[in-house]
Amino acid sequence: MHGTDSERTTELRENLARVRERIADAARAAGRDPGEIRLLPVTKFHPATDLARLVELGVTDVAENREQEARAKAGEVPAARIHMIGQIQTKKANAVARWATAVHSLDSVRLARGLDRGVALALERGERESASLPCHLQLSADGDPGRGGVAAGDLDELADAVEEAAHLELTGLMCVPPLGSDPAEVFAGARGLADRLGERMGRTMTLSAGMSADLEAAICAGSDIVRVGTGVLGERKLP
C-alpha cells in the first residue's frame, strides 16, 4: 500500500525529482546538457491510478512491456502516451499498433511488417490518430535472439525494412545489458552502432538505454532516453 492518494502523489513527485537530479548530475559529469536526456517512467505492474497521477504531475510519456496491461491502461488513461518496451509476438502486432505511441523493441523484419499492417488497419478503423509509429530497433548485445533483440550484423536489414514501411519511422536503437555483462561496455557499443546507423540513414539516431540501476553509465555512454521503473514508482507487485 502507498497510503492515501495525496501521499502517493507526493511520493511520485519526490521520486521524479530524485531521478531527474540523478540524470542531471550524470549529464553534467559527462559534459552533456541534461535537457538532452529524456526520462521515460516504466509503469508495468503498477495500477492505472499511478499512471493518472504521473500525468497530473506533467509526465506525458511512460513505458509498458506487456500488451494486455498497456492496452487496458491506455483505455483508462487516454491522456498518457504509452511506449512499448517489451518483446512483441507478431500475432500481437495489430493490437500494439492501436495504442502504442512508440515501440522500443522492434527486433525482426516479420514484426516490422506486422506493425506496419497494424497501423494501417488501426487508421482504417479509426482506432489510431497518428499515421506513423516511431520505432527503436532492439539490439541483442550478446547475439542471443531468445532474449529479444536483433544481432548487430542484422541491423541494416531490419533498418531497411522499417524505412520501406509506409507507417513506421526508424528513430534509433534500444538495448538492455545481458546479465553478467559490463553495462558501460554494452552502452558504449550500442551508441557506436546507433551513430553508424545514423550515418547510413542520413539522420540522427537516438539511443534508448539505461534503467534505475545503471542510468548513469548509460548517460555517460551517450544514451538519449532512460527507462526508469523502480526509481520513479517504487518496487513493483509481481502479477
What is the pLDDT at residue 110? 97
Cα separation, 125 vs 114, in Å, equals 16
What is the pLDDT at residue 237? 64
147 within domain boundaries: yes
> Model pTM?
0.94
Instruction: Tell me how many domains the chain contains.
Output: 1
15 within domain boundaries: no
68 within domain boundaries: yes
24 within domain boundaries: no
For the domain that residue 100 is a member of, what is the CATH number? 3.20.20.10
Instruction: Give yes or no for a contact between 232 and 15, defined as CB atoms under 8 angstroms apart.
Output: yes
- Nearest of 107, 84, 85 to residue 95 by alpha carbon: 84
Instruction: Give yes or no for a contact between 217 and 188, defined as CB atoms under 8 angstroms apart.
Output: no
Supply the range of the domain harboring residue 170.
39-233
Distances (CA, A) of 134 to 43, 101, 105, 112, 114: 20, 7, 11, 11, 14
The count of other CB atoms within 10 Å of the CB of residue 25 is: 13
What is the pLDDT at residue 239? 54
Q: Which residues pair with 136 in a beta bridge?
A: 172
26 within domain boundaries: no
Q: Can you read off the three cell numbers belonging to residue 211?
A: 534503467
Q: Which residues contact 5 (CB under 8 A, 6 or more apart)?
A: 49, 53
Calculate the CA 229 to chain-centre distance.
11
216 within domain boundaries: yes
Q: What is the pLDDT along the chain (239 residues), one digit of tens a residue?
A: 344 579 999 999 999 999 999 999 999 999 999 999 999 999 999 999 999 999 999 999 999 999 999 999 999 999 999 999 999 999 999 999 999 999 999 999 999 999 999 999 999 999 999 999 999 999 998 877 677 899 999 999 999 999 999 999 999 999 999 988 999 999 999 999 999 999 999 999 999 999 999 999 999 999 999 999 999 999 876 55
34 within domain boundaries: no
178 within domain boundaries: yes
